[in-house]
Amino acid sequence: MSTAEFNTEEYLNMELLRFTTAGSVDDGKSTLIGRLLYDSKAIFQDQMEQLENTSKLRGEDQVDLALLTDGLRAEREQGITIDVAYRYFSTPKRKFIIADTPGHEQYTRNMVTGASTADLAIILIDARNGVLTQSRRHGFISSLLGIPHLVVAVNKMDVVDWDQDVFNKIVEEYTDFSKKLNIHDITFIPISALTGDNVVNPSENMPWYDGPTVMHQLENVTISADRNLIDFRMPVQYVVRPHQDFRGFAGRISSGVVRKGDEIVALPSLKESTVKDIVFHNEEKEEAFEGESIVLQLEDEIDISRGDMIVKKGNQPEVINSFEATICWMDDAKGLNTKTHYILRHTSNETLTYIKELRYQIDVNTLHRKEDVDTLKLNEIGRLVFETAQPIMMDPYVKNRETGSFVLIDPNTFQTAAAGMIVRSKGKDDSRDIFHKQVSSNVRYENRFIDREMREQRNGYKAQVLWFTGLSASGKSTVAKALEKKLFDEGKHVYLLDGDNIRHGLNGDLGFSEADRTENIRRIGHVARVLFDAGAIVLCTFISPKQEMRDFVRSLLPEGAFKEIFVHCDIEECKKRDPKGLYKKAMAGEIRNFTGIDQDYEVPVKPEVVIDTMKLSVDELVDFLRKRIDE
């Protein structure tokens, strides 16, 4: 685009894509970026001349495009990337910010820094070497940081004679690995960064590949859907008071949309008001969106200062003092000290924080957990429980990357000690709090015209919750499904809540840690209560390994409405059945926290019913249970 054709307004309104690159040593990250810049004509003439001269001095026959991003002297000498190199360029479709991050394990903190704001990550894999440990590590870190789009660029296809089988094997292996991660959009592209094949221009050497080039993917991947335009969050950075007739609150919108006339709440004070004016670049506007820096004027005089947060009245983040988070340790001078305090910087707020528990360290190469640790050192990643001196206004990181992230600062040196991502507001020690203290603010129960007793009177039978508990493969679901059919055939209002089905939807965001299992049962308990209130006979089939979990659900219901059914089956018999192959995977170390293998199961203390699936048939068990329902 010539200077005469350049349209400043059009350029400013162009969509911006931030992306990061990562790969093992000599996978070609810097060369790929150089090729992107070179083939998209984003290099100035003086830069090109400097590249040519430097390449000649190094005795190279052709221009080394990697020099465009390898800016440090140490990088050029070693031919590797050490620091995070940022580059800016644009095409007629988009603007881009590239973060070229080092792939070495000792520079994990650099990759976390460069990838923390990325919309997309490009992971390079050398076609000669296949999927390495570092390739998996880069995928894990991308998943950990919540990067929504992943491009796996299989580089140096020219060296393997453009072999399709080599590419397919890498695709298959990395696809299997990515199933363990929270990655929903992954694209595989065979390339040669050195020759430019499938980087900007389609390759003539790989006619078997008909997918996008790297540039095409960068220009066309949909990122507008990744923006959170629902949850309005604006941390206040500064109070603007140019004269006595104007008082506004300046800040950058972390997420959501705000419009004139919106009802807002200031946190943590909970003071309410209405948006009077929105000022953007000294001009008033009707609305503002995520990423824009604005000044809000309110109808009422409210005491708001730096560190507070302005949100919508009906959509508020959690205001908490205790939370669980994953952190990457960044201090090369000293490791994590669980016995001291740190400064926690969250959005525009700062407060002291203490570490209640270091739950485990994550091996970024194997994804395994190391639970017997008391510190974290440079580049190590771990899961911790924090308690803050003052409340913070947060959303989980998976929901909002800005209000869900923070940094720790050493109070003695004021160096950045760690970067963190909030997982949830409660830690392992707070599992009982999840059961007994989870109450939303500013809500109350609404009375209904039709209650459960009226529904039961019309139905002609009592509503109740039958809770099937036992080991995996003990027969819970098999018996419950048969009982559901029998009751349905009798004309009963019956519904089965099955563990696997629930985890496909309502609880699809939960894993299998102790805290996640606790939250899984908490949610299910309340769903069962809603169905019970609707007059249904609710069948629930959940391992629910802890007695506390089952007692919690019982506590939600009237006395006598909850029947705990212990489905007894020896562990060895469950292993033999193993219809889903889960025991086999758990014993091989492929599944962690599996009940009966590396997590204990607490046998019910006083269940209402005990059935043995090793002694009776399904039909016999259903007949037995059918009689117990009417008792």
- Catalytically active residues, by annotation: 544
Q: How far apart are CA 268 and CA 387, in angstroms?
A: 17
The whole-angstrom separation of Cα 428 and Cα 405 is 20
Using alpha carbons only, how large is the chain's radius of gyration in Å? Answer: 29
Please state, in angstroms and rounded to a whole number, the distance separating the CA atoms of residues 341 and 323.
15
Please give the structure tokens belonging to residue 570. Answer: 């020896």
For residues 283, 289, 294, 298, the Cα torsion angle rounded to the nearest 10 degrees is: 90
Where helices occur in 61-160 by DSSP H, the ranges are 73-78, 108-115, 133-144
Query: Which residue type sits at 177?
Result: F
Burial code (b: 16+ CB inside 10 Å, e: under 16) for 577-587 equals ebeeebbeebe
Residue 382: strand, helix, or coil? strand
Q: Which helix (DSSP H) or strand (DSSP E) does residue 481 occupy?
A: helix 476-489
**CA–centroid distance for 573 within its chain:** 37
Measured between alpha carbons, how far is 156 from 31 in angstroms, rounded to an integer? 11
Burial label for 210, CB within 10 Å (0-12, 13-18, 19+), is exposed
Tokens of 87: 């580059």
* Contacts for 583 with CB less than 8 Å, ≥ 6 apart: 472, 473, 574, 575, 594, 596, 597
The values of phi and psi at residue 26, to 5°, are 65, 25
Bond into 235 cis (ω within 30): no
Closest among 68, 112, 20, 30 to 380, alpha carbons compared: 112
Handedness of CA 361, 365, 367, 370 (dihedral sign): negative
Token pair listed for 408: 């720790």
Residue whose token pair is 């609305």: 287
Instruction: Assess whether the previous peptide bond of 268 is cis (omega < 30° from 0).
Output: yes
